[in-house]
Amino acid sequence: MLKIGNTELKHGLLLAPLAGVSDRTFRNICREHGAEYTVSEMISAKALCYDQLSRKKAAEESATLELATIFKGEMPIAIQLFGCEPEFMARAAKLIEERSYCGCVSDTAPAAIDINMGCPVRKIVGNGEGSALMRSPEVAAAVVSAVRAAVSLPVTVKIRAGWDSVTAPEFAKRIEAAGADMICVHARTREQMYLPGVDLSVIEAVKRSVSVPVVGNGDIYSAEDAINMMRQTGCDGVMIARGALGNPWIFTEIAAAFESREWTSPTPAERLLAAREHFVRMLDDKSDRRATAEAKKHIAWYIKGMNGAAAARAAVMTAQDSEEILAIIDKLLFAEERK
């Protein structure tokens, strides 16, 4: 069992933060398929504080406010912040804990504040944020202690193996001392970006160097991968990102394996029905234009590898509205059902 603050996770199955992907609909679908804990898309601490200063009133006016919006039915969920200035990070964490930021419509505080120290994107690391913090352990520790002091929620940190060499075990010790309650390790350096292959020995070394729970992350695409990571590293839970794209069943599959239950993967028709439902739920949550634009990648992931997927994918990508997308899915479904 994995414990993050008062939140207990039987299997330790977490959905990773995925900017531009893990919106509320996707998080809820993964939860319904067995993800026990989710994390919001990364939110700029500075943007949240600046929104406050400009007194933006409604979520529609600010992408940041929308990203920070969570509801009780989504719990347990952590809100992930990125930034490298302790004062902004602390202020943003407090605004979230108290739900006191302008325009807040969340009906609950999150289960934890998660701090992003893994993002490899040039724009972010260029500001000293995300994985750049792994090059500045003092700043990273100052960020963690400032957030720790500002809120009573658990504070968790998502790190990489290091910047261009493995420093995570030492780094983890420092951020544990600064007040981190759980550390998630993506077992690649920033230099490795998302190249295939993770170094599980890094997760094992972090697990040995700290006493707070450690969650392993990187390249989990099956129950076998999850079991392998947990056995080899002794980590307390696993976090899944790309393995869940178009495949929320990965959580069911892993939970079934942990419980020694049989599990069969969904048929193409079941995948198509799931893609359809996913899209319809996005339409409930967003405008037709936004849902159509944002659902395209999800639908492409669901249909990957199916008969006629390449042509359907091309059609989805150029679709103009929701009716067009639904017609493409229904055509594929019709073909599957006639088999």
Ligand X SMILES: Cc1cc2nc3c(=O)[nH]c(=O)nc-3n(C[C@H](O)[C@H](O)[C@H](O)COP(=O)(O)O)c2cc1C
Q: Kindly list the residues in this chain that would bind ligand X in the complex (CB under 6 A).
A: 16-21, 41-42, 80, 116, 118-119, 158, 186, 217-220, 240-243
Has 84 been annotated as catalytic?
Answer: no
Nearer to ligand X, 80 or 106 (CB): 80
- 110, 138 Cβ separation under 8 angstroms: no
- What is the spatial distance between Cα 325 and Cα 279, in angstroms, rounded to a whole number? 9
Q: Which two tokens stand for residue 139?
A: 């700043």
Shortest spacing between CB 269 and ligand X, in angstroms: 27
* Pairing assessment for the beta strands 214-217 and 237-240 based on DSSP bridges: parallel
Question: What six digits make up the tokens of 161?
Answer: 């193996």
- Find the shortest distance in angstroms from Cβ 243 to ligand X: 5
Cβ closer to ligand X: 41 or 176?
A: 41
C-beta neighbour count of 53 within 10 angstroms: 8
Q: Kindly state the smallest distance separating residue 31's Cβ from ligand X, in Å.
A: 16
- Nearer to ligand X (CB atom), residue 17 or residue 237: 17
Q: CA-to-CA distance for 113 and 20, rounded, in angstroms?
A: 19
Q: Which two tokens stand for residue 136?
A: 């500045």
Which one of 30, 49, 119, 235 is the catalytic residue?
A: 119
DSSP state, 41?
P
- Quick one: 184 or 328, whose CB is closer to ligand X? 184
Residue 85 sits at the vertex; the CA angle it makes with 79 and 89, to the nearest 5 degrees, is 25
Smallest distance from the beta carbon of 204 to ligand X, in angstroms? 17
Residue numbers annotated as active site: 119
